Homo-oligomer: A and B are copies of this chain.
Amino acid sequence: MKNTFGNAVKVTLFGESHGDAIGAVIDGLTPGIEIDYEFIDRQLNRRRSKTQVCTQRVEKDDYRIISGVFDGHTTGTPLCIVIPNRDTKSSDYQLFSSVARPGHADYTANCKYHGYQDYRGGGHFSGRITVALVAAGAIIQSALEKKGVYVGTHIKKCADVCDRDFENYVEDIKSLHVAQFSILDENSKEKMLSKTTEIKANGDSVGGIMQTAIYGVPAGLGEPWFDSLESMLSHAMFSIPAVKGVEFGIGFGCANMKGSEMNDEFYVSGENILTKSNNNGGINGGISNGMPIVFNCAVKPTSSIPRKQKTVNFIDKYDTEIEISGRHDSTIIPRACVVAETLSAIVIADLLIGRYGTDYLL
C-alpha cells in the first residue's frame, strides 16, 4: 500500500520538503463531521513546537482543505489538505545527492530511486510531510472525542529526564492538547529543556521515549491475526521518522517477568469488566479489552548534528567526511509526539468505522 494506510479509513501522503507543497488525502470519513478549526490549529502549533530545542524553520503551516469539506462539515468524499512550502533554503542540501548523512536516508533513497529522488531537505522523507497528517488527524481526533475516545501522547523520557505517567487519562490528554510542549509534569519540562539545550550546545542531539494513551476504546477492536491492534498501531508508528521501537503496556519489561506477575487479573466494576494492572496495554490477543491502550515509542536522537562525521560519497564510492549545518532539532520528540497522537487517532477511527460502519463518527 506504500504511501496509503488503513482499510475503512485510508490516508495517503504526498509531497517533498522543498517541493511545491505537501499534503494528505483522507478517504472513508463519516460524512457530517464538524471541522474543528481550532483543534487543527492547536495541533499544528504543537507540532511546530516553538521551543529552543526545535528547528528554526518555522512556517505558519497555512493549510488549505481543498476537498471533502462543505459548509464546515466533512462530505464523506476524500478530504485533501494541502500545505504550500515557502521558507525553503534548497542550496543547503545539494551535497546530499551524493554524500550520505549518517542516520539519514540519502543513501537508501538513492538505492531505491536511482538518483531521481528530490534530495532537498530530505524530500519525501522529511518530517515536514507530517504537517498535513496532523491537520487531517485533528479532524478525526475531535470527532473521536465526541464519541468519548481520547488520544494523547507525551514525552515519557528525553535526555534522561522522565515525565510522570498518565494518571487521569481524560484530563491528562486534554492538558496535552492545549500544551505547547507535550509533557504532563511541568517540573520535568524545565529539566528536559535545559538538558536538551545543553546537549545541543555541545553540537549533539538526543533521543527519548514517547508514550501514547488511547482512552475510551470499546472492547472488541482488532483482529487475532495480522491486523491485531498492536500490528496496526506499530505499522503506523514505524512510519514516523526516527522511531526505532514500539512496545505495548509493560512492553520489553515482560521479558523479565513471570506469568503470575504479567497477567492482568480481571474484576467486575458495576457494568464493566476491568483489569487491576494493565501490563498488556489494554490489548489481549490483539483485541482491545476496554482498558486504556498504552504504548511507548523509542525515538532516536536527531541524525543531523553540527559535527564532522565520517561517511561516503555513494555515487563515486569513496570515503569522506561531512559536517551538517542548517536548522535542526536537537530532538524531534516534541514534534513526533503530535504525529504519534495523530496516527493513533487515525488507526482507531479506521478500526471503529470498519467495525461499526461508515456513519460511526456522526
Q: How far is the CA of A275 from the CA of B221 in the complex (A)?
A: 40
0/1 interface trace, chain A 120-159, chain B, CB 8 Å (1 if under): 0001110001000000000000000000000000000110
Residue A44 lies at the interface, judged by CB distance under 8 Å to chain B: no
Chain B's closest residue to A241 (CB) is B285
Query: Which residues 55-101 of A have a CB within 8 angstroms of B?
Result: 64-68, 70-71, 73-80, 82, 100
Please name the residue on chain B nearest to A112 by beta carbon.
Answer: B220
Cα(A4)–Cα(B302), bound, Å = 34
Given contacts A67-B14, A246-B234, A248-B245, contact A263 B77 (CB under 8 A): no
With known contacts A77-B14, A247-B244, A125–B285 Cβ distance under 8 A: yes
Convert A199-238 into 0s and 1s, putting 1 for each residue whose CB lies closer than 8 angstroms to a CB of B: 1000011111100000000111111111110111011101
List chain B residues, Cβ under 8 A from A10.
1-2, 4
B259 touches A117 (CB 8 A): no
Question: Is A334 an interface position by the 8 A CB rule?
Answer: no
- Interface-side segment among A46-54, A171-179, A185-193, A303-311: A303-311
Q: How far is the CB of A297 from chain B (nearest CB, A)?
A: 9
Most buried by B among A15, A23, A77, A301: A77
Residues of B within 8 A of A224 (CB): 3, 77, 105, 109, 124-125
Is A3 a contact partner of B305 (Cβ separation < 8 A)? no
Contact of A341 with B by CB under 8 A: no
Task: Kindly list chain B residues whose C-beta atoms are within 8 Å of the C-beta of A25.
Answer: 3, 12, 14, 25
* A260 with B307: CB separation less than 8 A: yes
Task: Answer yes or no: A252 CB below 8 A from chain B CBs.
Answer: yes
Chain B residue numbers with a CB within 8 Å of A115 are: 32
- Cα–Cα, bound, A166→B66 (Å): 41
Question: Which residues of chain B come closer than 8 Å to A301, judged between CB atoms?
Answer: 254, 257-259, 261-262
Q: Which of A227, A250, A360 has the largest number of chain B CB atoms within 10 A? A: A227
Which 7 pairs across A and B sit closest by C-beta, in order of nearness? A105-B285, A245-B247, A111-B220, A205-B259, A357-B357, A108-B287, A102-B263
Report 10 cross-chain contacts, Cβ distance below 8 Å, ordered by A residue.
Answer: A15-B66, A21-B66, A25-B25, A75-B123, A78-B124, A111-B220, A158-B255, A209-B255, A245-B247, A260-B307
